[in-house]
Amino acid sequence: MSNTKLKVAIVGASGFTGSELARLLLNHPTVEISMITSESHVGKPFSDLHPQFFDRLDIPLASAEEVSKQSLDVIFLALPHGVSMDFVSKWKDSGAKIIDLSGDFRLSSKEVYEEWYQKKHTYPEGFESAVYGLPELFAEKIKSAKLIANPGCYPTASILSLAPLFAKKLIQEDSVVIDAKSGLTGAGIKANATTHFSNVNENFKAYGIAGHRHTIEIEEQLGSLAGSEAIVQFTPHLLPVDRGILVTAYAKVKGAMDQDSLTKIYREFYQDKPFVRLRNQAPGIKDVRGSHYCDVFPVWDQRTKRVIVISAIDNLLKGAASQAVHNMNLMFDLPESEGLTQIPLKP
């Protein structure tokens, strides 16, 4: 990339993903933020929506219509599910690479999407060109992709929990339970009963039991690793914290197992993956907050003959914005860690 900077646009400024992208890209040495869009706030300074950027990123918000008028290298779509697809269709030949943070191109086909999202898909051709942007699994494909389907937050933590075992075809069919817990930012910036402070604070509850749409994203990726269908029991819960996902994954394995073998399988699978840290004790979500890390801790329970894997990520970063930047780094042949070296903010 020599000494010119990548020109990037962030489409969708109002949400948490948009502001986290801006935070990372503003300090990324090879990036220049060319524009940020928000249809409902055109003309306002970005920092009006997110005052933490006061005096740092005060550029006026543009309409998405401006995107095609500029010469851009990357377009980040920080938009809701069902909205991204139209922009991808519109800008697919614009010359810019597109990283879509919504769920619109994460699944295998229009049919699967429409069943789980209960929404008509208007650009099914995208499923063929889109690459699932999980760098630990698909780095090579990502490097040459023009459209990235940036993974969901729960799927990122869930897939990284069990990928080493699925890749070795060691998982007993139908034995997988993924009990997941997420901070409130996963529910978005929109004010409603779910996000009201008094419904979240000092509270904890399950939701989407037996039907959350991230289930199929996890099943498709894990099944693909194993070369066979995967069935996963996935239950998300809402934590009274801003950020973080902790996944507790349970599975029965085929054949003999012990702690050393288990650790070895994970160590080999994640060697040379700079952002997966194989921990020697159970990680908490605060151990990764504000960083691009996924901390993983696999345990063998000899008494029950079950594997338990704990994984922790920051849902807004490894589960969204920093994963998108990681994908950009790969797509433009930049150092993999560029702009992603933040140490977790703890406490």
Residues taking part in catalysis: 153
Do the bridges between strand 6-11 and strand 31-37 make them parallel or antiparallel, or are there none, so unpaired?
parallel
In the complex, the smallest distance separating the C-beta of residue 19 from a copy of itself, rounded to whole angstroms, is: 8
Q: How many other C-beta atoms are found inside a 10 Å radius of the C-beta of residue 327?
A: 27
Q: Which among 65-73, 99-107, 139-147, 185-193 is the span making contact with a copy of itself, rule CB under 8 A? A: 185-193
Nearer to a copy of itself, 25 or 149 (CB): 25
- Strands (E) across 17-90 are located at 31-37, 74-77
In the complex, the smallest distance separating the C-beta of residue 130 from a copy of itself, rounded to whole angstroms, is: 26
Nearer to a copy of itself, 78 or 288 (CB): 288
5 binds a copy of itself (CB under 8 A): no
Using CB under 8 A as the binding rule, the residues of this chain from 212 to 241 that contact a copy of itself are 231, 233, 235, 237, 239-241
Asked whether the beta carbons of 126 and 87 are under 8 A apart, the reply is no
Q: Which among 78-86, 137-145, 264-272, 337-345 is the span making contact with a copy of itself, rule CB under 8 A? A: 337-345
59 binds a copy of itself (CB under 8 A): no
Residues counted in the chain? 347
1 binds a copy of itself (CB under 8 A): no
292 binds a copy of itself (CB under 8 A): no
Distances (CA, A) of 95 to 7, 122, 133, 206, 315: 12, 21, 19, 43, 30
Distance from C-alpha of 230 to C-alpha of 336, rounded to nearest angstrom: 30
Per residue in 232-241, is it b (16+ CB within 10 Å) or e — as a string?
A: bebbbebbeb
| Residues 257-276 as x/- pattern, contact with a copy of itself by CB under 8 A | --------------------
Using CB under 8 A as the binding rule, the residues of this chain from 299 to 328 that contact a copy of itself are 299, 301, 303-304, 306, 308, 310, 312
206's enclosing H/E stretch is strand 205-206
* The one among 206, 254, 258, 268 contacting a copy of itself by CB under 8 A: 206
